A and B are shown apart, each in its own frame.
Chain A
């Protein structure tokens, strides 16, 4: 059974700080890794994709992938109250061609 694990939170950070969100996955054959942001009452929105080991930066967001440790993270620099949402980690590939989601981490950025 493929599993994707995230701390449920809530993770609370002050405005302007760095928020660090973590995710581990069980299937070593996984190929692609995604972070989705979901505001309360809204649908998941894709914010980052990463496919190879290392860091990928997009604006204030940095995704980090370590396949040897089966670990994916998302860093949000200069956190804003508008970043307050649930962040979902999703993993694709491996034993089947399906996207498996973690249960999400609730992030609260305090003004």
Chain B
């Protein structure tokens, strides 16, 4: 099992460009999440999908959109990138059917917006 995979690993964008971060999991988990991690700010939830067909905003959703393509895949789109979106982005998944909500993380995407 690959667990949670993310592409790309690194990306540099210019302000105003758009891009989509891809995430896939092979653990048959119901729930998937997108976080960003910034120095001094910790991990912050951008969007999540509790189950296939549903998405909800997290703590910092502005400037992002998401798509739960199927049970395995959850993508994050930046429509018009801004320097404030320079960050490391992590996708995670969990089996939300269990109360414990253990989340497992992908390797991350390091995004720089110039």
Contacts and interface: CB of A to CB of B under 8 A. Distances in A.
Given A43-B106, A43-B107, A101-B42, A92 B100 contact: yes
14 contacts: A32-B99, A34-B102, A43-B105, A43-B108, A44-B105, A46-B104, A49-B100, A88-B42, A90-B103, A93-B99, A98-B45, A99-B33, A99-B103, A103-B40
B48 interface: yes
B2 interface: no
Interface of A is mostly: strand
Interface residues of A, number: 21
A46 B50 CA distance: 20
Contacts of A34: 102-103
Interface of B: 33, 40-43, 45, 48, 50, 58, 90, 96, 99-108
**Most interface-central of B43, B58, B108 (chain A CB within 10 A):** B43
Given A98-B45, A98-B48, A104-B42, A51 B100 contact: yes
Contacts of A45: 105
Contacts of A51: 100
A93 B102 CA distance: 12
A60 interface: no
Given A43-B107, A44-B90, A45-B105, A32 B100 contact: yes
B99 A42 contact: no
Contact of B90 (A43, A49, A93, A104): A43
B43 A101 contact: yes
Contacts of A32: 99-101
A97 B107 CA distance: 24
A102 B108 contact: no
